[in-house]
Structure 1
């Protein structure tokens, strides 16, 4: 060692100085030798104890009953096997909590795991879940650490779907999800990004083939060339930490974020815009959205024109409530107290057709109850809009897959024990928007539609 390390021997320097890696290797080798000697010494003691125990058991025993010597010998053998590493550890590290099967194991295809059980937990059938998980499998990142085995992509998808469907927060949902808070947050974030990347066109204006179906459905209700219904809903949230609380306090004095959605008669989401505080007016949300710019520039409705009574020509419009101004592409009801029979008939048909947006909100929030919570939702305000867009994508996927909706999701039992319908966050306008800004063409369009209904 002295010669190898370059130490002074007999007044001279012999050998070259060792590097740090060489010293580490020598130290490791010495530790291995010492450890091996200690193991052999321990094994020798245990073997000697085992031989002594055999001698005791070989002696004739008086009395009947349990042979304590044999039991002690078996215990020694088990201890020896455990000490030599014959039995594997239950966990890689004692401070790492073991994962149990929990919800995911219950969702495996077993004899008692029916389609109804899947729909109750994840809102979709096993076939649809597998299809989504297969589509998203390239996107979720599998992070390998020294403490846990990474979650599989299908597990990540299942955990995110369960959070959105159950409405549980990260704190209250840890036991049900059978993963930690950090893993749950990571799963929701990964699935959100993956769904936005895998289904970029799932929320879009209908194509030529789809548009024919949409237009026919509204025409059967008395509204030719109608492309959809528009309205806003409130997502109740906790008071934002870094923002003025009054901006997020809506008419009901609750903190919320507004979401503007356009749906067709089949309840599919065609356009969604979200993220602004709950005290914003519906008209203000419309002006801030990309929908307003596209409609005003003529990019939203590009189909052929249809001739209506009074020589009115139109190629597309939306149905809205009195919270929106009457325009050439948004048709609102008359809403007068003393109405002409033609106006009353128009308002009734308008209400029936525009009920599609209320049914869409009921299905959307009833399926994904995280956004139906009547008490404040603690969430990241930066990721909330993306998560709501993602559940709108899932909403359209389930409609395309013909997944039925249970109307019982729209009812809940309150603290007083009374069963009532859930609050969908749709606030009726206090008063109609002033019609002074409405153009003459917008007024004539509504009158022409009312006249057409009377003629039919």
Structure 2
């Protein structure tokens, strides 16, 4: 077999015109020696069979069998694995980009126009698919730029620019993915909350902390939250289907939920009467409501359109029933955080980030969250669990830091208190 391979190499090298005269002479001598050895009947037959077999393989006569999921051939990185078109590719897309191949192609098509204008700014021409795949992989895996760019065969500077461009492209391609419900969608949301015992409820509100490394160029104490970590606040409103209706992100982690709310566009729109415009609903004691949100005890009664639990230990039966039903309905926001941050794990772990682009990136993953819900992408509940350094399995930290009103002067807003009491008494009559 070794002689046959040598013969093939010698014949190939002998055809090259660039070799020197001495080299060609030595090749002729080796060829003559091989010819004498190959004249033996057994040897000639064996060599001929091996040579023909090698030629057949190289010409594609014997097709390579498609690799199965348990036998993936080694390639030069994640990007090359994603380009393979075999029976494992779609599952590989789901593991690394959180979506199917078809969904990825739709996103590429939606972002293509914007991205094609940007690829000319890169040092070397790169396909739009590769740039978008890298940004999705970065958000999904939470890997550093160094390891992520290595898996995609690009430089760190290219990776940084790719994430920036894809962030802008997604915001332009899907401007209505996150919006306040209207039309049929609003009717479905109001009906779902009414069945939970909360008529004219539009959603649930809460904040989550996005953990970051100690920020540079800013007072670090502002970003130091109650869990002794550096973080940025993200306020989100969701419905019972876990769809995100509104998002406001960017405030330092030490800021209270109420302050984040008061400085958000959601607050200004709600106070102007733009958001809660459902058909008036009559409640006990003559109270009428056109809409509100469910929140935790971090939101005091000062806001008349956020209903929070009574809390405390000296509750009567009606208050206890109300708190239980309110907590169950409000649980949708925690489940939404679980799906969102566990699928896009960059925002689950502490990581280095650009504070100027972090809000846009988080809005992007919220946009992807809604898109994947619409197309029915399943969520693996195992992502909610992890094994710590001691080998103990526990739920991941979703960054939901409970804020209470102790020491903050709970404001006795009459309208907000009447709304909570009216809903409590309505539940007692059901």
* TM band (smaller chain): 0.7 to 0.9
Is the counterpart of residue 110 in structure 1 residue 85 in structure 2?
yes
1:160 to 129, 135, 138: 135
What is the distance in 1 between the residues matched to 2:122 and 2:94?
A: 35
* SS of residue in 2 equivalent to 1:275: strand
What is the distance in 1 between the residues matched to 2:360 and 2:168?
A: 8
Residue 62 (structure 1) shift? 13
Structure 2 match to 1:191 = 166
- Map 1:184-333 to 2 at 5 A: 184-326=159-301, 327-333=303-309
Residue 378 (structure 1) shift? 0.5
Cα gap change, 1:145 to 1:330, in 2 (>3 Å): closer
Conservation of the 8 A alpha-carbon contact between 2:134 and 2:149: no
TM-score (norm 2): 0.82
Residue 53 (structure 1) shift? 6.1
RMSD of the TM alignment (CA)? 2.7
1:398 to 372, 375, 396: 372
1:124 to 99, 114, 128: 99
Highest CA radius of gyration, 1 or 2? 1
What is the distance in 1 between the residues matched to 2:418 and 2:277?
A: 21
Conservation of the 8 A alpha-carbon contact between 1:232 and 1:261: yes
Structure 2 match to 1:88 = none
What is the distance in 2 between the residues matched to 1:380 and 1:328?
A: 36
Structure 2 match to 1:352 = 328
Residue 432 (structure 1) shift? 5.2
Structure 1 match to 2:49 = none
Residue 111 (structure 1) shift? 2.8
* SS of residue in 2 equivalent to 1:107: helix
Conservation of the 8 A alpha-carbon contact between 1:106 and 1:113: no
Return 5+ residue gaps in structure 2 as ranges: 1-15, 39-74
What is the distance in 2 between the residues matched to 1:134 and 1:44?
A: 49
* SS of residue in 2 equivalent to 1:441: helix
Residue 50 (structure 1) shift? 6.9
What is the distance in 2 between the residues matched to 1:311 and 1:382?
A: 48
Cα gap change, 1:350 to 1:434, in 2 (>3 Å): farther
What is the distance in 2 between the residues matched to 1:118 and 1:234?
A: 28
Conservation of the 8 A alpha-carbon contact between 2:134 and 2:148: no
What is the distance in 2 between the residues matched to 1:154 and 1:278?
A: 35
Residue 441 (structure 1) shift? 1.7
Structure 2 match to 1:445 = 419
* SS of residue in 2 equivalent to 1:239: coil
Residue 319 (structure 1) shift? 0.4
Cα gap change, 1:58 to 1:250, in 2 (>3 Å): closer
2:342 to 350, 361, 366: 366
Conservation of the 8 A alpha-carbon contact between 2:297 and 2:309: yes
What is the distance in 2 between the residues matched to 1:393 and 1:197?
A: 11
- Map 1:172-191 to 2 at 5 A: 172-191=147-166
What is the distance in 2 between the residues matched to 1:108 and 1:433?
A: 57
Q: Deviations over 1:4-55 (max 9, x none)?
A: xxxxxxxxxxxxxxxxxxxxxxxxxxxxxxxxxxxxxxx999675578668x
Residue 336 (structure 1) shift? 2.1
Number of positions where the alignment pairs a residue of Structure 1 with one of Structure 2:
378
Structure 2 match to 1:379 = 353
Return 5+ residue gaps in structure 1 as ranges: 1-42, 67-99
Conservation of the 8 A alpha-carbon contact between 1:107 and 1:113: no
Structure 1 match to 2:47 = none
Q: Deviations over 1:330-351 (max 9, x none)?
A: 0010002110100000000000
Cα gap change, 1:103 to 1:446, in 2 (>3 Å): same
1:389 to 354, 360, 363: 363
